[in-house]
């Protein structure tokens, strides 16, 4: 087998969740050296204790798996092939081609590793030019606190810092050439294309990358205040960059200029110390950036390699773009709330990683946002990882990752959702986002009193969320109003696994959508091609008001499946406890094999007067009433076990699917495809008062 000339070292920025890292080159089982680099300090990791590896037999490489996920550092994986030669040939034996080739492969990998180490020395060491030599430094003590220079014989000598011991300096200053020191030639066009840095002295003396921040304890140990420099850089009105380093910010940068652009270089981190919310501030206020201008852009070099930390106990947001109206961008950076817990979370404090807010009240020209939030890691915020708010807020939320620390379990008013979409948002696309491990929901949405339209949630992972995956409801608690609702909501190609298992809230569903409390509506609901598995309560729950104009209409639910192949449990509640409500425009794909949990009813089923009660040992004192609208009320007592047949439907009256239904008291039962009605609780009293008179049908 050959060995490709591939780089034999790879590095990854730790995100606190990933444990499996690709190793994109060939290696032997015992041939990796792994260390973490934290704050410039290299920490070696031990195989079998800190990590394990698989694969590596081919140029495709293999995988390194950490024992536990870590954050705040860089994971470096180097190949270190053994230098020993263990191959021995016996005289007269056949030539061992495979073993010989393996030995040659090992030699090739050793050569590549050594060449890599030499290149790293070239990159890191101060070396003389080719063809020249330099004498040894001599005792290092003589260079303490001094610079290193060369004497006339090119031997290293110590030079005291600040003694002006540069024989050419006085000449440069005397002739005027001193102004050109550090200058390199370029034309005016090239000069104008240069991006100034926030450390430039013209910006209030320049920002100082000297903040020392202990991430694990959320403590700023030292550092200059660079707030004035960042504000001055924004006020200059030109794009600027933030070089690598840690910067301390103690106040909010309010920016109203046109198209401000900040670029965070790899390794640039801003630590913001916002004030506490006191109940009178703007709830959308930020810890650092509060942008009120079209075309605002916050751009980073990589999702996990630069960004903003919100330090201390505060309800502020990370970055807010408010009433901007036109081409806003947040991309390729992290926005992280430090681990200090927030206290007394209020429902009117949004405490969110990033916010796109745009509404007519603050934007009289009605400029739409058209915002793009992409490749952003948001983590640790009490309310939401990110949010779109307001009926001029639209755009795209793509490939974002939301950390599992979103939400405070000990704060009842801390929602802890990856995203909130409220108050008339749309059109909006949320695509390819990772929303796993939220306190409540992956996406929490509602019109909240302003009609939302054309919202699509697709290709997202919403696993292990405490209450559910998507919750899009029109209800009084979310400020929905009569006459306002949602038009065209599409939920497709997502995965929902293990939702509804939180200890502090009851589970709801993988997808929950509908209207109730007598307010709001949803017209055009599509839930298709999603994957569900191991969800508590329901996979899909659709609720609806009964009154016209406040219902769920034009709904389509089809081609959804469970990863395990089990049946999906749907709950369809249309005016809870109200019988005879027909919604002919809610239908299910004919390929479905589903169990329906209905509280109100669909296609009419005519029950004949010869409806049969089962008598004997299965239950006692049975009775039923045939309602005028073909509903049925059953009550009695189950003396046997759950699942016994208590009644049968007349011949010709058969549902297309097995139907589960719930009633008052302790009742729960099923109408089976073979015509049997069974009690699913028992033994004991039961009251099955909601047997369906309208069954789901295929359209």
The helix/strand/coil state of 682 is coil
141: three-class secondary structure by DSSP: helix
Would you call the peptide bond into 142 cis, given omega within 30 degrees of 0 as the criterion? no
Query: What is the b/e burial string over 457-474, where b = at least 16 CB atoms within 10 angstroms of the residue's CB?
Result: bbebbbbbbbbbbbbbbb
Cβ contacts of 135 within 8 Å, gap of 6 or more: 154, 155, 156
Q: Which residue stretches of 306-437 are H helix?
A: none
Strands (E), 459-588: 461-463, 468-474, 486-492, 495-497, 509-515, 522-528, 531-533, 538-544, 552-558, 561-562, 569-574, 586-588
Res. 550 pLDDT band, cuts 50 70 90: confident
Three-state secondary structure call for residue 100: helix
Task: Kindly list the domain boundaries of the chain, sorted by start residue.
Answer: 9-87+96-124, 278-288+302-308+320-334+346-603, 612-695
How many other CB atoms sit within 10 Å of the CB of residue 617? Answer: 9
SS3 for 284-332 is CCEEEEEECCCCCEEEECCCCCCEEEECCCCCCEEEEEECCCCCCEEEE
Domains 278-288+302-308+320-334+346-603 and 612-695 share a fold: no
* pLDDT at 422 (0 to 100): 92
Contacts of 104 (CB under 8 A, 6+ apart): none
Structure confidence at residue 622 (pLDDT): 36
Q: pTM surpassing 0.75?
A: no
Structure tokens at 10: 């790879």
| Alpha-carbon torsion (20, 22, 28, 31), positive or negative | negative
Whether the per-residue pLDDT at 329 is higher than 50: the answer is: yes
Residue 173 confidence (pLDDT) above 60: no
pLDDT of residue 385: 93
Average pLDDT over every residue of 643-655: 63
Given a contact cutoff of 8 angstroms between Cβ atoms, the answer to whether 19 and 126 are in contact is no
- Which whole-number Å values give the CA distances from 161 to 146, 147, 155, 170, 497, in the listed order? 6, 6, 18, 16, 63
Residue 206 pLDDT:
93
d(CA 583, CA 589): 16
Those residues whose C-beta lies under 8 Å from the C-beta of residue 37, and which sit 6 or more positions away, are 43, 73, 74, 76
From the number of C-beta atoms within 10 Å of its C-beta (0-12, 13-18, 19+), residue 326 rates as middle
Contact assessment for residue 107 and residue 55, using Cβ atoms and an 8 Å cutoff: no
pLDDT in tens, 132-156: 778 777 777 787 778 888 887 778 8
For 561, the 3-state DSSP assignment is: strand
More confident residue, 517 or 669: 517
Please state, as a whole number, how many other Cβ atoms lie within 10 Å of the Cβ of residue 566: 14
Q: Considering only 95-104, 267-276, 472-481, which range has the smallest mean pLDDT? A: 95-104
Q: Which CATH class is domain 612-695?
A: mainly beta
Calculate the CA 594 to chain-centre distance: 31
Q: Is pLDDT of 611 > 60? A: no
C-alpha torsion angle, residues 630, 635, 641, 642 (rounded to 10): 40
pLDDT in tens, 61-108: 899 999 999 988 889 898 888 766 666 676 767 767 666 667 676 677
pLDDT digits (tens, 9 = 90+) for 687-696: 444 444 333 3
Q: What is the mean pLDDT of residues 279-308?
A: 77
Which H or E element spans position 232?
helix 227-235
Q: What average pLDDT score do residues 583-591 get?
A: 38
**In the CATH hierarchy, which fold is given to the domain comprising 278-288+302-308+320-334+346-603?**
Pectate Lyase C-like (2.160.20)
**Among the listed residues 291, 208, 197, the one whose alpha carbon sits nearest the alpha carbon of residue 248:** 208
Q: Is residue 386 pLDDT above 90, yes or no? A: yes
Q: What is the pLDDT of residues 436-465, one digit of tens each?
A: 999 999 999 999 989 999 999 999 999 999
What the block records as the tokens of 644 is 């016994």
Q: What is the mean pLDDT of the chain?
A: 75
Token readout for 596 is: 């329906």
How many residues are there in the chain? 699
Provide the β-strand partners of residue 241: 197, 263
Average pLDDT over residues 516-545: 85
Q: What is the pLDDT of residues 203-220, one digit of tens each?
A: 899 999 999 999 888 888
């Amino acid at each position: 087998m050959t060995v490709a000339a591939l780089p034999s070292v790879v590095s990854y920025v730790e995100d606190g969740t990933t444990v499996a890292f690709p190793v994109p080159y060939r290696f032997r089982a015992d041939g990796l050296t792994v260390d973490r680099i934290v704050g410039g300090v290299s920490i070696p990791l031990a195989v079998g204790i800190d990590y394990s590896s698989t694969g590596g037999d081919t140029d495709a490489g293999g995988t390194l798996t950490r024992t536990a996920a870590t954050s705040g550092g860089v994971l470096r994986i180097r190949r270190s092939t053994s230098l020993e030669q263990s191959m021995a040939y016996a005289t007269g034996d056949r030539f061992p081609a495979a073993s010989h080739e393996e030995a040659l492969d090992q030699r090739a990998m050793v050569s590549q590793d050594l060449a890599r180490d030499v290149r790293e020395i070239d990159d890191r060491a101060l070396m003389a030019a080719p063809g020249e030599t330099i004498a040894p430094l001599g005792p290092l003590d003589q260079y303490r606190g001094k610079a290193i220079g060369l004497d006339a014989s090119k031997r290293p000598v110590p030079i005291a810092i600040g003694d002006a011991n540069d024989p050419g300096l006085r000449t440069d200053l005397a002739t005027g050439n001193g102004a050109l020191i550090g200058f390199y030639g370029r034309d005016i066009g090239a000069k104008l294309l240069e991006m100034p840095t926030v450390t430039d002295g013209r910006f209030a003396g320049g920002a100082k990358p000297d903040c020392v921040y202990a991430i694990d304890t959320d403590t700023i140990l030292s550092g200059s205040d660079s707030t004035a420099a960042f504000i001055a850089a924004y006020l200059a009105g030109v794009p600027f960059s933030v070089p690598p380093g840690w910067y301390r910010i103690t106040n909010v940068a309010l920016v109203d200029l046109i198209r401000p652009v900040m670029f965070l270089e790899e390794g640039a981190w801003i630590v913001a110390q916002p004030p506490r919310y006191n109940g009178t501030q703007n709830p959308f206020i930020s810890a650092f950036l509060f942008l009120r201008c079209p075309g605002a852009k916050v751009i980073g070099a990589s999702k996990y390699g630069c960004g903003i930390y919100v330090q201390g106990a505060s309800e502020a947001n990370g970055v807010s773009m408010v009433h901007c109206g036109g081409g806003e961008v947040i991309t390729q950076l992290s926005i992280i709330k430090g681990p200090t817990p927030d206290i007394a979370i209020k429902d009117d404090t949004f405490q969110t990683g990033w916010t796109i807010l745009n509404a007519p009240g603050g934007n009289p020209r009605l400029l739409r946002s058209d915002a793009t939030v992409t490749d952003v890691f948001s983590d640790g915020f009490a309310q939401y990882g990110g949010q779109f708010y307001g009926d001029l807020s639209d755009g795209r939320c793509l490939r974002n990752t939301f950390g599992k620390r979103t939400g405070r379990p000990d704060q009842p008013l801390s929602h802890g959702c990856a995203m909130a979409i409220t108050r008339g948002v749309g059109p909006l696309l949320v695509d390819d986002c990772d929303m796993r491990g939220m306190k409540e929901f992956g996406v929490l949405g509602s019109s909240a009193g302003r009609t939302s339209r054309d919202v699509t949630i697709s290709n997202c992972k919403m696993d292990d969320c405490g209450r559910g995956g998507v919750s899009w409801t029109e209800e009084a608690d979310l400020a929905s109003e009569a006459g306002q609702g949602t038009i065209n909501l599409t939920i497709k190609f997502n995965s929902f696994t293990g939702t509804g298992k939180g200890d502090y809230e009851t589970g709801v569903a993988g997808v929950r959508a509908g209207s109730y409390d007598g307010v709001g509506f949803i017209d055009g609901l599509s839930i298709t091609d999603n994957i569900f598995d191991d969800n508590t309560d329901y996979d899909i729950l659709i609720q609806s008001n009964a009154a016209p104009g406040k219902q769920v209409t034009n709904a389509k639910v089809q081609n959804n499946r469970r990863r395990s192949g089990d049946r999906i449990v749907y709950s369809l509640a249309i005016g809870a406890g109200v019988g005879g409500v027909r919604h002919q425009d809610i239908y299910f794909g004919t390929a479905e094999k589903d169990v329906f949990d209905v509280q109100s009813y669909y296609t009419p089923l005519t029950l004949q007067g010869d409806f049969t009660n089962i008598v004997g040992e299965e239950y006692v004192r049975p009775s039923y009433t045939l309602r005028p609208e073909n509903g049925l009320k059953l009550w009695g007592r189950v003396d046997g076990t759950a699942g016994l047949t208590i009644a049968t439907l007349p011949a010709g009256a058969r549902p297309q699917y097995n139907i589960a239904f719930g009633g008052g008291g302790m009742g729960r039962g099923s109408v089976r495809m073979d015509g049997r009605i069974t009690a699913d609780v028992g033994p004991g009293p039961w009251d099955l008062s909601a047997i369906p008179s309208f069954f789901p049908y295929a359209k």
